[in-house]
Amino acid sequence: MRFLPFVIPIVLAIYCWIELAQSDARDVRLVPRWGWAFVIAFPLIGPVSWLVYGRPNGERPAPTAPRPQARPMAPDDDPEFLRNLKIDPPSES
C-alpha cells in the first residue's frame, strides 16, 4: 500500500494521455492538444485539470456558416463552351 500514492498519479496521467490522443482536436477545450499533453505531465494537477477543463464533454462547438457554393453557369454564359461550339452553316435543300 505504500506504493499506491506513486502509482495512482502515473496511471491517471497515462489514462489522460491516451484519452487525449484518441480525442478529436476540434473537441478539446481551452488549450490545443499539444498544450494539454504538456499540462498532463505535471503530477496529479495536470491530469485532474484535463479531466475537468480540457476533455471533450460531448457538446459540439457552434457550427460555422457554410461557404456559398458557386452557382452553375448556363452553357450560353460559359465562354469556354461558346468557344468550342461548332456552328454548322445552314444547308440548302
Report the pLDDT value the prediction gives residue 31, as an integer from 0 to 100: 86
Phi and psi (nearest 5°) for 67? -70, 140
Burial class (CB in 10 A: 0-12, 13-18, 19+), 31: middle
Rg (CA), the chain: 30
Q: Kindly report the pTM of this predicted structure.
A: 0.58
Lowest mean pLDDT among 1-5, 18-22, 31-35, 55-59: 55-59
User: Which alpha helices (H) appear in 1-93, and where do they start and end?
Assistant: 4-22, 33-40, 45-49, 79-84
Report the pLDDT value the prediction gives residue 73, as an integer from 0 to 100: 67
- Render pLDDT for 21-49 as a digit per residue (tens, 0 to 9): 998 888 888 888 899 889 999 988 999 99
Does 77 or 26 have the greater pLDDT score? 26
